[in-house]
Amino acid sequence: MATSSRYLEAPQRLRAFVRAHETSLVVLAALVGTVGGLVVAAMSIAVEAMHVALFELQWGDRLSSQFRIEPWRALLVPSLGGLLLGLAFMLLLRWRPAREIDPIEANALHGGLMSFRGSVIVALQTIWSSGVGASVGLEAGYTQLASGLAASLGRGFHLRRSDQRLMVGCGAAAAIAGAFGAPLGGAFYAFELVIGGYTPASLTPVGIAAVAGYFVTHAFSPLSLGIGVGPVGDVVGRDLVIAAVLGILAALVGIAIMRGVALGETLLAKTRLWPPLRPALGGFAVGLLALATPQVMSSGHGALHFAGFVSIPLTVIATMFALKVLASIISLGSGFRGGLFFATLFLGALGGHLFAGGIDAVWPALKLDPNVYAIVGMSALSASVIGGPLTMSFIALESTGNLWLTTAVLVAVMISTQITRELFGYSFATWRLHLRGETIRSAADVGWIRDLTVRRLMRPDVTMVSAGMPIEEFRSKFPLGSKTQVIGVDSDGRYVGLALVAEAHAPDLEAPHGLIDILHYRDVVLHPFMNIQEAIAVFDAAEAEQLAVVEDDGAHQPIGILSEAHAMKRYAEASEQRRREAIGEI
Q: For residue range 95-138, what is the model confidence (pLDDT) as tens digits?
A: 776 677 889 888 888 888 899 999 999 999 999 999 999 999 88
Q: For residue range 225-276, what is the model confidence (pLDDT) as tens digits?
A: 556 666 677 788 888 999 999 999 999 999 999 999 989 888 888 888 888 8
Are 515 and 465 spatial neighbours (Cβ–Cβ below 8 Å)? Answer: yes
Q: For residue range 458-500, what is the model confidence (pLDDT) as tens digits?
A: 998 888 989 888 888 888 888 888 888 899 998 888 899 998 8
The reply to whether 528 and 568 lie within a common domain is yes
Last residue of a domain, one of 226, 256, 291: 226
% helix / strand / coil in the chain, to the nearest 5? 65, 5, 30
Per the domain annotation, does 287 fall within a domain? yes
> Per-residue pLDDT for 443 more than 70?
no
pLDDT, mean over the chain? 86
Per the domain annotation, does 27 fall within a domain? yes
The reply to whether 419 and 456 lie within a common domain is no
Contacts of 114 (CB under 8 A, 6+ apart): 101, 103, 106, 147, 148, 151, 152, 168
**Between 381 and 268, the higher pLDDT residue:** 381
Residue 229: what residue type? V
Q: For residue range 420-441, what is the model confidence (pLDDT) as tens digits?
A: 999 998 888 887 777 766 666 6
pTM of the model: 0.82
Gyration radius from the chain CA atoms: 29
Per the domain annotation, does 444 fall within a domain? no
CATH of residue 370's domain is 1.10.3080.10
The reply to whether 83 and 154 lie within a common domain is yes
Per the domain annotation, does 231 fall within a domain? no
**Spatial distance between the Cα atoms of 554 and 12, rounded to a whole number of angstroms:** 47
CATH of residue 457's domain is 3.10.580.10
The reply to whether 430 and 489 lie within a common domain is no
Q: In this predicted structure, what is the pLDDT of residue 242?
A: 94
> Per-residue pLDDT for 5 more than 50?
no
Q: For residue range 387-417, what is the model confidence (pLDDT) as tens digits?
A: 889 999 999 998 888 889 999 999 999 999 9
**Spatial distance between the Cα atoms of 276 and 87, rounded to a whole number of angstroms:** 5
- H or E element, residue 547: strand 546-550
Q: How many helices (H) and strands (E) does the chain have?
A: 24, 7
Per the domain annotation, does 585 fall within a domain? no
Per the domain annotation, does 151 fall within a domain? yes
Buried b (16+ CB within 10 A) or exposed e, 477-499: ebeeeeeebbbbbeeeeebbbbb
The reply to whether 407 and 477 lie within a common domain is no
| Average pLDDT of the segment spanning 543-554 | 86
**Spatial distance between the Cα atoms of 3 and 1, rounded to a whole number of angstroms:** 7
Cα angle vertex 243, ends 240, 247, to 5°?
Answer: 135
Per the domain annotation, does 98 fall within a domain? yes
Buried b (16+ CB within 10 A) or exposed e, 323-336: bbbbbbbbbbbbbb
Last residue of a domain, one of 226, 248, 280: 226
> Per-residue pLDDT for 1 more than 50?
no
Are 258 and 385 spatial neighbours (Cβ–Cβ below 8 Å)? Answer: yes
3 state DSSP class of 507: coil
The reply to whether 243 and 222 lie within a common domain is no
Q: For residue range 214-223, what is the model confidence (pLDDT) as tens digits?
A: 999 988 755 5
Per the domain annotation, does 57 fall within a domain? yes
The reply to whether 149 and 295 lie within a common domain is no
Judging by beta carbons within 10 Å of its beta carbon (0-12, 13-18, 19+), is residue 231 exposed, middle or buried? Answer: exposed
**Count of domains observed in the chain:** 3
Are 30 and 209 spatial neighbours (Cβ–Cβ below 8 Å)? Answer: yes
The reply to whether 383 and 468 lie within a common domain is no
Q: For residue range 504-546, what is the model confidence (pLDDT) as tens digits?
A: 888 877 777 788 888 888 889 999 988 888 899 999 988 888 9
CA distances (Å), origin 78, targets 123, 136, 323, 326:
18, 12, 16, 15
**Between 433 and 224, the higher pLDDT residue:** 433
**Spatial distance between the Cα atoms of 402 and 405, rounded to a whole number of angstroms:** 5
Q: In this predicted structure, what is the pLDDT of residue 34?
A: 96
> Per-residue pLDDT for 304 more than 70?
no
The reply to whether 117 and 221 lie within a common domain is yes
The reply to whether 344 and 465 lie within a common domain is no
> Per-residue pLDDT for 58 more than 80?
yes
**Spatial distance between the Cα atoms of 419 and 56, rounded to a whole number of angstroms:** 43
The reply to whether 106 and 144 lie within a common domain is yes
Q: In this predicted structure, what is the pLDDT of residue 402?
A: 87
Structural domain boundaries enclosing 249: 237-435
Judging by beta carbons within 10 Å of its beta carbon (0-12, 13-18, 19+), is residue 53 exposed, middle or buried? Answer: exposed
3 state DSSP class of 561: strand
Last residue of a domain, one of 435, 469, 485: 435
The reply to whether 152 and 288 lie within a common domain is no
> Per-residue pLDDT for 2 more than 50?
no
